[in-house]
Amino acid sequence: MKKDTLKSYLINLLAIVVLFIIMKMLISNGVLNRYYVGIIVFIGVNIILASSLNIATGFLGQLALGHAGFMATGAYTSAITAMTLIDRGVALPNSVILIISLIAAGTVSLLVSLIIGIPSLRLRGDYLGIITLGFGEVIRVFINNIKFTGGAQGLTGIPMLTTFDNTFWITVFVIFVLYTFTNSKHGRAIISIREDEIAAEAVGIPTTFYKVLGFSTAAFFGGVGGGLYAHYLAFLDPNIFGFMRSVEILVIVVLGGMGSLTGSIIAAIVLTILPEALRDFAQYRLLIYSFLLVAMMIFRPQGLFGTAEFSMKMFLHKLRHNQIISPRKEIKDGD
């Protein structure tokens, strides 16, 4: 079993490295210009945001409507941390400053999530949905009204630390951490709460602890995603992080499949490219979103992938045997 798993890790790593090299080559050839690189960075950010929200919504089964709030918390924390570091003249390479800022961003988001998560997750039911809904707005209004975030005028002068390279590897790292996390005993405990909270408690799972753990993990990586975003835009306006932003992230999660990280990745790619491709019809974007969602609920209520994961190993196996790939197929542990 272990040897098999090692093999599948290597296959995945190889696939990722090949993808990286191909994209690198396309960029240096000029096939992918700066505009496309920007979209790729946003895809990375959206993957991080959606897969982190998927932990809370898909794996834990708690409705969270304020992911943009954590994104904002992370974005501003990260931006201010990096600006302070550079102002103080700390001589560190850009990537190190970025990593420090992102860790700060995640940590602050995590602390904030504990404040709202601990009281609301002790209860059973949809209280978290209401509280996070309110939280998203509170954060936005808060940032709008304090000085050191630049208020409504926005925060300018943020160092541009996000590049294609670091976005790519940070995204890979985040997905790896979330995947291994959900496939451990802690992830199992979180999934058991989604399946049946009362039963989970009756077999000895401390449900409040795991609910808070799942929710704050989501918040941590939501903050990281926000930080990455801030260092690419180099300018932050509190109104980017409105309720609609939370909904957009949630739509990615629902579309990809609640409980499937690979589903979130695919959906994040599609739903980042789609609005760009449909620029000319920008005013219809929300219309298309709602249409997509309605169609999804009718034809495939579990999302693109349901709770299954796409795996390289299965894919290669299928290719060799000339079969059509079906993402619904059950896969074994550790793939």
Partner 1 sequence: MALLETKDLTMQFGGLTAVDNFEISVDKDELVGLIGPNGAGKTTIFNMLTGVYTPTEGSIHIGGKNAIGKTPYQIVKLGGARTFQNIRLFKDLKVIDNIKIAYHHEVDYNILNGVFRTKKFWQGEKKAYEEALEFLKIFEMEDYADTLAKNLPYGKQRKLEIARALATKPKILMLDEPAAGMNPQETKELMETIHFIKDKFDIAILLIEHDMNLVMGICERIVVIDYGKIIAKGTPDEIKNNPDVIRVYLGE
- What mask of x and - would describe binding to partner 1 in positions 175 to 194, judged by CB under 8 A? --x--xx--xxxxxx-xx--
- What mask of x and - would describe binding to partner 1 in positions 260 to 299, judged by CB under 8 A? ----------------------------------------
Contact between 227 and 243 under an 8 Å Cβ cutoff? The reply is no
Contact between 159 and 231 under an 8 Å Cβ cutoff? The reply is yes
Query: Which listed residue (107, 144, 163, 307) binds partner 1 by CB under 8 A?
Result: 307
Nearer to partner 1, 221 or 232 (CB): 221
Q: How far is the CB of 177 from partner 1 (least distance, A)?
A: 5
Q: How far is the CB of 198 from partner 1 (least distance, A)?
A: 6
202 binds partner 1 (CB under 8 A): yes
1 binds partner 1 (CB under 8 A): yes
Q: State the Cα–Cα distance between residues 214 and 53, nearest whole angstrom.
A: 10
Please tell me the count of residues contacting partner 1 according to CB under 8 A. Answer: 28
Specify the residue for token string 């992370």: 74
Task: Calculate the alpha carbon distances from 318 to 52, 142, 261, 315, 322 in Å.
Answer: 29, 52, 21, 5, 6
207 binds partner 1 (CB under 8 A): yes
CA 103 to chain centre: 15
Question: Helix, strand, coil: what percent of the chain each, to 5?
Answer: 75, 0, 25
- Of 2-31, binders to partner 1 (CB under 8 A) are 2
Contact between 273 and 288 under an 8 Å Cβ cutoff? The reply is no
Q: One-letter amino acid identity for 198?
A: I
Residues lying near partner 1 in the complex (CB under 8 A): 1-2, 177, 180-181, 184-189, 191-192, 195-196, 198-207, 213, 307, 330
